[in-house]
Chain A
Amino acid sequence: MSETTGERRYAISLTVNGTVREATVPARRLLSDCLRHELGLTGTHVGCEHGVCGCCTVLLDGEPVRSCLTFAVTVDGREITTVEGLAGPGGELSPVQRAFTECHALQCGFCTPGFLCTVTALLRDNPAPTEDEVLEGISGNLCRCTGYQNIVKAVHRAAELTAEAEGGAA
């Protein structure tokens, strides 16, 4: 990353995947670049960098947003969850991650972090989505490999896995 000499930098603090992280960034640093370059969290992928592909989707205070359409300084003090934060404390895959594996919902994997974040929030808000709700929910994420069929299957499977886990815990 080349920097313009003399460009003012801002000290910011983000809670990323439950850990407080500090960074010093110019105002124009995109959240996606801040996560990848300043914080070393390269799980967040950058595809189109203008909000079309959805690869850079992260959770901002729990809500999925495009990290390439958000300045890091704007979200100073907020909570971010990236794909690195989706697994459980012992590293066990989340229901959404397990479903993507089981259903073969990824091939090259470039779009997968964005899908995982989007679907995690989708199922939290709507634990048993209809087919149409799944299609609407993932409509902002592009995948060039799978043809989406297995991704849609995985969303339904993740809903089942979550329901089973909660049923088992109850």
Chain B
Amino acid sequence: MKPSPFDYHAPRELGEALEVLAGTAPHGKVLAGGQSLIPMLNMRLAAPSHLVDINRVAELDALSVETGGVRVGALARHAAVERSPAVAAVQPLLPAALRLVAHPVIRNRGTVVGSLVHADPSAELPAVLAVLGGTVRLARHGAPERDVPAEAFFTGPLESAIEPDELAVSAFFPAPPPRTGTAFQEVARRHGDYAMAGAAAVVTLDEDLRIASARVACVSAGPVPVVLDLSEVCARRPAASADWEAVAAAVRDGVDPDDDIHATARYRRHLTGVLAERALRVAAAEAERVADGRAAVRMSEGVDDGVNHGANGAGEDSE
């Protein structure tokens, strides 16, 4: 239960980190929060010959909130993102999902970008990035940075599009469009465990409060987060009269989970349908509240579209 020996590198600047990675590829591994990597090192499931510890690269400890979305730097810890009122105001799905990630003590150390790079299909944050259509920014020595969209980033269980000489420097989670609600629902054997099934949902209403767009990303339902567009099944009806059973059936048909010691594939499929429907209903209700709030604000103060509305969702845990 001790890691194998490795050559340790502790760069202080991003350029230095990229040089070290370029020089050690494909034998280098990046250490950020270490809450997934160090268990793997301790159990010797991973034994990289070089470890590049980015914890001293201060410029990566960044969290910037814009009206367009939230950019999370590679050293931003789960806890910092979870507790940021500005993040909750722009993208409430992030704190809602983060509250389901492991335990508070793990979240003090683990990083959002690290969780994305780890690319566990049972984890919450890859599903959040996938359902929002976010991107991961990758940097490489001597090359321009590149932004990889979520659908191209996650390539398999614990596999992503990141090359051995690349460093994920940040991730971007877009803000929701107007009249949009989000939710995360999951079931785990014990609180803090990886979920047996779960879904992140985003619902956008049209001006008549009918469902214009409905998407989910399902966890533990395939080799990568499984994104399903259920807009057609929702058939532009208001949430109250949508055919939710048809939505759940479409989710069950759209996922292909595996058996394991925690649950059978059949049970996971059933559970994913239930949780996706539940997440979509909560997200639709949230979207209605957001739309109502905006209408009320417009009438009373004459504020036009484009103001920040996500605060309506802040603090609404999806559990």
Residues of chain A whose beta carbon lies under 8 Å from any beta carbon of chain B? 4, 7-8, 10, 26-28, 30, 33, 49-51, 54, 57, 60, 63-66, 68-71, 73-74, 118, 122, 136-137, 139-141
Q: Return chain A residues, CB-CB under 8 Å to B109.
A: 60, 65-66, 69-70
Q: Which 7 pairs from chain A and chain B are nearest by CB? A: A140-B103, A27-B8, A50-B39, A28-B3, A49-B1, A69-B38, A63-B108
In chain B between 32 and 55, which residues have their CB closer than 8 angstroms to a CB of chain A?
Answer: 34-35, 38-39, 41-43, 51, 53, 55
Choose from A4, A69, A136 the contact partner of B104 (Cβ within 8 Å). A136
A33-B106 Cα distance, complex, nearest whole Å: 19
B39–A140 touching, CB < 8 Å: no
Interface residues of B, dominant DSSP = loop
B105–A26 touching, CB < 8 Å: no
Number of A-B contacts (CB under 8 A): 89
A64-B2 Cα distance, complex, nearest whole Å: 22
CB-CB under 8 A for A51 and B38, given A65-B109, A70-B109, A139-B104: yes
A70–B5 touching, CB < 8 Å: no
A74–B31 touching, CB < 8 Å: yes
Min CB gap A7→B, angstroms: 5
Min CB gap A73→B, angstroms: 6
CB-CB under 8 A for A4 and B105, given A69-B34, A69-B38: no
Other contacts beyond A65-B109, A66-B35, A139-B192: 14, CB < 8 A: A10-B8, A28-B3, A30-B2, A30-B3, A50-B1, A50-B39, A63-B108, A66-B105, A69-B39, A71-B31, A71-B38, A74-B53, A118-B105, A136-B191
A71-B6 Cα distance, complex, nearest whole Å: 12
Choose from A10, A28, A30, A50 the contact partner of B5 (Cβ within 8 Å). A28
Who on chain B is nearest to A27 by CB?
A: B8
In chain B between 75 and 112, which residues have their CB closer than 8 angstroms to a CB of chain A?
Answer: 79, 102-106, 108-109
CB-CB under 8 A for A50 and B108, given A27-B51, A71-B34: no
B105–A54 touching, CB < 8 Å: yes
Who on chain A is nearest to B2 by CB?
A: A28
B55–A74 touching, CB < 8 Å: yes
Interface residues of A, dominant DSSP = mixed
A122-B104 Cα distance, complex, nearest whole Å: 10
CB-CB under 8 A for A140 and B42, given A4-B5, A27-B51, A71-B34: no
CB-CB under 8 A for A70 and B34, given A4-B5, A28-B6: yes
Q: B4 contacts the other chain (Cβ, under 8 Å)?
A: yes
CB-CB under 8 A for A70 and B38, given A28-B3, A57-B105, A65-B109: yes
A109-B52 Cα distance, complex, nearest whole Å: 37
A140–B2 touching, CB < 8 Å: no
A140–B192 touching, CB < 8 Å: yes
CB-CB under 8 A for A27 and B1, given A63-B108, A64-B105: no
In chain B between 1 and 23, which residues have their CB closer than 8 angstroms to a CB of chain A?
Answer: 1-8, 10
